[in-house]
């Protein structure tokens, strides 16, 4: 079933860029509790101010977390098994001064098998019961956008569209912690929420970089 989700913030196409810095995936900053009520380096300017510590999410963490050092090792973190193919739809067009993006929020790459199976080692940490479903979106914005005078906070939902066709959420889970560190994701660093919307909390390794490919 296709569902239309509404957007409470301007949707921008997320395009990765080439970085001159090497990221150490074995020692990423944990950054739990880094939630701000204004733009601040190293924090998430979130619209939601309070988070419940028992909100739905991962049941437990593992040895990939180093809370003493305040880091986590992404290479040691388990991922959801599976190689599920989806019929992804994404169209980007320009009409006059507007750019229009339409799609069904399904990624153009294989995903893990959701709900997470009891036989999956990921089930020990995270029992995500949600199945991936299509969600229609249609958004437009200026071809040449300008910087707003005042920045806006990030909602707990879609904040961008990736070139895979799937959407991007902010960096937080429902408990206000680092989603990439705590929630168990598939090999492409994505998972579905309650309505089945597959999403990422950061850059997916399964998205090709259009800049480095040229």
Calpha distance 101→51 (Å, rounded): 32
Q: Which residues are registered as beta bridge partners of 3?
A: 135
Q: 36: how many CB neighbours lie within 10 A of its CB?
A: 14
Helix (H, G, I), strand (E, B) or coil at 197: coil
Strands (E), 5-53: 12-14, 28-29, 35-36, 44-45
**81-118 per-position pLDDT tens digit:** 999 999 999 999 999 999 999 999 999 999 999 999 99
Q: Model pTM? A: 0.89
Range 179-206 average pLDDT: 96
Q: 58: how many CB neighbours lie within 10 A of its CB?
A: 19
Q: What integer pLDDT is reported at residue 21 of this predicted model?
A: 58
Calpha distance 130→210 (Å, rounded): 31
**22-61 per-position pLDDT tens digit:** 889 999 999 998 999 999 999 999 999 899 988 888 999 9
Q: How many CA atoms lie within 13 A of 82 on its CB side?
A: 27
DSSP 84: B
Give alpha helix (H) positions in the chain.
Answer: 179-182
Comparing CA positions, the residue from 166, 163, 164, 161 lying closest to residue 196 is: 166
Would you say 189 and 205 are in contact if contact means Cβ atoms under 8 Å apart?
Answer: yes
Domain count, the chain: 1
Residue 123 domain boundaries: 1-19+26-214
């Amino acid at each position: 079933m296709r569902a239309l989700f509404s957007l409470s913030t301007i949707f921008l196409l997320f395009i990765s860029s080439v970085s001159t810095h090497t990221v150490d995936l074995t020692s990423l900053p944990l950054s739990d509790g880094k939630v701000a009520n204004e733009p601040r380096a190293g924090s998430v300017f979130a619209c939601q101010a309070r988070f419940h510590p028992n909100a739905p999410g991962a049941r437990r963490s593992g040895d990939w977390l180093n809370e003493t050092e305040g880091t986590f090792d992404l290479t040691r973190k388990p991922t959801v098994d599976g190689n599920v193919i989806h019929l992804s739809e994404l169209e980007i067009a320009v009409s006059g001064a507007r750019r229009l993006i339409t799609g069904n929020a399904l990624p153009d790459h294989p995903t893990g098998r959701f709900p997470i199976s009891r036989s999956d080692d990921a089930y020990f940490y995270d029992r995500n019961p949600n199945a991936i479903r299509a969600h229609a979106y249609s958004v437009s914005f200026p071809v040449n956008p300008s910087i707003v005078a005042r920045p806006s906070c990030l909602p707990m939902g879609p904040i961008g569209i990736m070139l895979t066709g799937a959407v991007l959420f902010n960096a937080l889970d429902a408990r206000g912690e680092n989603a990439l560190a705590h929630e168990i994701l598939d090999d492409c660093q994505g998972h579905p929420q309650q309505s089945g919307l597959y999403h990422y909390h950061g850059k997916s390794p399964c998205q090709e970089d259009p800049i480095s490919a040229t």
